């Protein structure tokens, strides 16, 4: 049984199809990266999985259990098992770093403040931000805020982590500190679905890479296949262009 299974997922915006029958599965601890041109549906797929953009057709299973995206109870359960980190950090500006990381476990999961803050401090140490726990977001660089956002996502103890172009809003010199943080998560057994334009990173970290175009998965395989010997012409065209830059 796959940890995450997506079957024939479709999403439309104002009757305009964006995802056109995406089928994808991932085993526990696997890292699957989504690549493809802008507008191919990569970010929409992540938003659909977490329930921010409800699918119009298809099914998603987590641990063999079907997700009902129109049920509040099912969504609450899903968001205890899955978390997402966006391009923009979206930290609460009026809260300290420690409070940003600990608030969801306290308010949503009803964990004690002492337990939530203890785990938050541990997570901040893991992402290299332990010395900033009393700082406010405006006092942090973009890379530091993104690392806090990753710690915040991990605070709910998700089994699946979705990462949507988490370095695209960063200055170039801040990119590596966030990528190093993600590298550190690969040994934690968390299933990850990653959208990234950092192709060297995708090649290094991914178990498999899925090429998307026009709302569909064109090809999926290990990084060596996708980058060195793609089977589909669309994949070959895309990879040849991006690897020249």
**pLDDT attached to residue 185:** 85
Q: Is the pLDDT of residue 7 over 90?
A: yes
Confidence band (pLDDT; 50, 70, 90) for 13?
confident
User: DSSP E strands: which ranges in the chain?
Assistant: 4-13, 16-26, 31-35, 57-62, 65-66, 82-85, 160-164, 191-195, 208-213, 216-221
**pLDDT attached to residue 1:** 82
Instruction: Name which of 195, 189, 49 is nearest 58 in CA terms.
Output: 49
The more confidently predicted of residues 190 and 1 is 190
Q: Average per-residue pLDDT in the chain? A: 92
Q: What is the CA radius of gyration of the chain?
A: 18
Burial class (CB in 10 A: 0-12, 13-18, 19+), 123: buried
DSSP letter, residue 87:
S
pLDDT (tens digit, 9 = 90+) per residue, 36-86?
Answer: 999 999 999 999 999 999 899 999 999 999 999 999 999 989 988 999 999
**pLDDT attached to residue 179:** 86
pLDDT (tens digit, 9 = 90+) per residue, 96-137?
Answer: 999 999 999 999 889 999 999 999 999 999 899 999 999 999
| Percent helix, percent strand, percent coil in the chain, to nearest 5 | 40, 25, 35
Mean local confidence (pLDDT), 167-178 = 82
CA distances from 224 to 124, 147, 152 (A): 34, 29, 33
**pLDDT attached to residue 225:** 97
CB 154 within 8 A of CB 123: yes
Mean local confidence (pLDDT), 155-168 = 92
At a CB cut-off of 8 Å and minimum separation 6, what does 243 contact?
199, 227
Mean local confidence (pLDDT), 4-24 = 94
The tokens for 205 are 């970290």
**pLDDT attached to residue 131:** 96
Where along the chain do its domains lie?
Answer: 4-242
Alpha helices in 127-232 (DSSP H): 142-154, 172-185, 199-205, 223-228
Homologous superfamily, domain 4-242: P-loop containing nucleotide triphosphate hydrolases (3.40.50.300)
Q: Is the pLDDT of residue 245 over 60?
A: no
Q: Other CB atoms closer than 10 Å to residue 244's CB: what's the count?
A: 6
**pLDDT attached to residue 172:** 80
């Amino acid at each position: 049984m796959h940890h995450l299974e997506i079957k024939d997922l479709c999403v439309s915006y104002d009757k305009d199809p964006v995802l056109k029958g995406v089928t994808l599965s991932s085993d526990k601890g696997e890292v699957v990266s989504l690549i493809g041109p802008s507008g191919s549906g990569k970010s929409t797929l992540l938003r659909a999985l977490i329930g921010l953009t409800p699918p119009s057709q298809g099914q998603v299973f987590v641990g063999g259990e079907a997700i009902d995206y129109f049920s509040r109870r099912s969504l609450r359960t899903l968001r205890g098992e899955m978390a997402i980190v966006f391009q923009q950090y979206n930290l609460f500006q009026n809260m300290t770093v420690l409070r940003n990381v600990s608030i969801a476990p306290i308010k949503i999961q009803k964990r004690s403040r002492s337990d939530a803050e203890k785990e938050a401090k541990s997570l901040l140490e893991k992402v290299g931000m332990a010395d900033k726990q009393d700082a406010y977001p405006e006092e942090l660089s973009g890379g530091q805020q993104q690392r806090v956002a990753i710690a915040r996502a991990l605070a709910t103890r998700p089994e699946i982590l979705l990462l949507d172009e988490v370095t695209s809003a960063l200055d170039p010199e801040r990119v590596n500190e966030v990528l190093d943080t993600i590298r550190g998560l690969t040994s934690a057994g968390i299933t990850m679905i990653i959208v990234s334009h950092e192709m060297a990173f995708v090649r290094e970290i991914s178990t498999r890479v899925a090429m998307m175009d026009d709302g569909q998965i064109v090809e999926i395989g290990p990084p060596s296949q996708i980058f060195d010997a793609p089977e589909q012409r669309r994949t070959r065209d895309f990879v040849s262009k991006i690897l020249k830059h």
